[in-house]
Amino acid sequence: MGGYSVLGHVSGGWWRAQGVRAALKVAGFGAEAWHQLHPRGFSKRSRSLENQPFPGLLQPENLSREELVDVLRASVVDQKGKPGELTLFSVLPELSQSLGLGEQELQVVHASGKETSGLVLLSSCPQTACRLRKFFAHSRRAQRPTATYWAVTDGIPATSEGKIQAALKLEHADGIGLVVPVKSPSRKDILEGVKRTLSHFRVVATGSGCALVQLQPLTVFPSQLQVHMVLQLCPVLGDHRHSARMRTVLGQRFLLPAESTKPQRQVLDEALLRRLCLTPSQAAQLPLHLHLRCLQLPGTRPRDGLIELLAPLPPYFSRTLQCLGLHQQ
């Protein structure tokens, strides 16, 4: 990977290399809100964090196009969107100018789902972007994880670590995309978009009936990690799309058939709401607690070891860990 060198530290901010930018992407209320880690000049529009159930979140209607470019210096807000929406892609030219890249165009090299917080890798060098994409593709083929996520789950996995395998497909109903598992997929299913997926998981901490789980996907599919945790009967907090499959009767958890379950806001029990200090209406707006914590990149020279990029947790994520007594060992 000759041709670029690290110019700054890799934890808690921008990671810079020739033609490469790593940004913190921070999620908000679904697709309609963004979280801002390092406020810059928004004192007039910011609310007191003490009065917010999810500290660090910022409503998009409070941002102008120019202000969004400023926020993007510390956070990436979205991967894609409808025509006319204010998204990362729509302001990449301004962001390039703001970073002093001139006519060089930024492109997304690595990103997770738009509701997921954490790292997003951008590049203004086509050659570097191509090499990095090849590195990620080769790592997947060799089943070497390059991305590590943290998730807070409603429930505790039955085993402390292991792997989750499932064949998944994306279905659309009433204009909503929903990822569902497919049992014993046929060759025809695979040709029609069904994909076999695999993730590693490890329980980092437990408390209050919840868990902090480390997740490492070895395949790429929309909402893969959320669905994998639902299949473990431990949905991610703030998963308002797939967690509706899980039901509890007399203390026993089970899954409803995917084909007959419509997405709905996640329902948390009263004890958990008290621990989180949330009302039911606030819980209905709970952000997805899935964070791209670490990303591995190849070193500058072939013999160099891997470089790790680390993203600090969003304030609302840290607050949840504190409320639930989830402390990393």
- Mean local confidence (pLDDT), 187-203: 94
Q: How far apart are CA 2 and CA 202, in angstroms?
A: 34
- Asked whether residue 34 carries a pLDDT value surpassing 50, the answer given is no
pLDDT digits over 204-262, tens only? 999 999 999 999 999 999 999 999 999 999 999 999 999 989 888 888 898 998 877 88
Give the residue among 98, 85, 101, 79 at the shortest CA–CA distance from 18: 101
- Asked whether residue 2 carries a pLDDT value surpassing 70, the answer given is no
Residue type, 168: L
- Mean local confidence (pLDDT), 134-147: 94
Name residue 30's beta-bridge partners.
28
The per-residue pLDDT for 64 is 75
Q: How many residues appear in the chain?
A: 329
Q: Are 41 and 272 in contact (CB under 8 A)?
A: no
Q: How far apart are CA 91 and CA 210, in angstroms?
A: 38
Give pairs for 55-61: CB < 8 Å, separation 24+: 55/315, 55/316, 55/319, 56/26, 56/314, 56/315, 56/316, 57/28, 57/29, 57/33, 57/287, 57/316, 58/28, 58/33, 58/34, 59/28, 59/33, 60/28, 60/32, 60/33, 60/34, 60/86
The per-residue pLDDT for 49 is 44
The per-residue pLDDT for 137 is 94
pLDDT digits over 52-75, tens only? 777 766 555 567 767 766 665 555
Q: How far apart are CA 52 and CA 206, in angstroms?
A: 25
Q: What is the mean pLDDT of the chain?
A: 79
The per-residue pLDDT for 134 is 93
Most confident of 99-113, 118-132, 265-279, 288-302: 265-279
pLDDT interval class at 25 (50, 70, 90): low
Give the residue among 123, 133, 147, 146 at the shortest CA–CA distance from 16: 123
pLDDT interval class at 19 (50, 70, 90): low
Most confident of 10-14, 117-121, 168-172, 319-323: 319-323
Name the residue ranges covered by the structural domains of the chain.
Answer: 15-145, 148-283
- Asked whether residue 184 carries a pLDDT value surpassing 70, the answer given is yes
The per-residue pLDDT for 251 is 82
- Mean local confidence (pLDDT), 79-95: 65
Most confident of 84-88, 105-109, 150-154: 150-154
pTM: 0.79
Query: DSSP letter at 106?
Result: P
- Asked whether residue 1 carries a pLDDT value surpassing 80, the answer given is no
Q: How far is CA 184 from the centre of its chain?
A: 28
The per-residue pLDDT for 230 is 96
Least confident of 37-46, 282-291, 292-301: 37-46
The per-residue pLDDT for 61 is 58
Give the residue among 277, 230, 226 at the shortest CA–CA distance from 253: 230
The per-residue pLDDT for 20 is 63
Least confident of 130-134, 137-141, 142-146, 296-300: 296-300
- Asked whether residue 325 carries a pLDDT value surpassing 70, the answer given is yes
Residue recorded with tokens 């998009």: 60
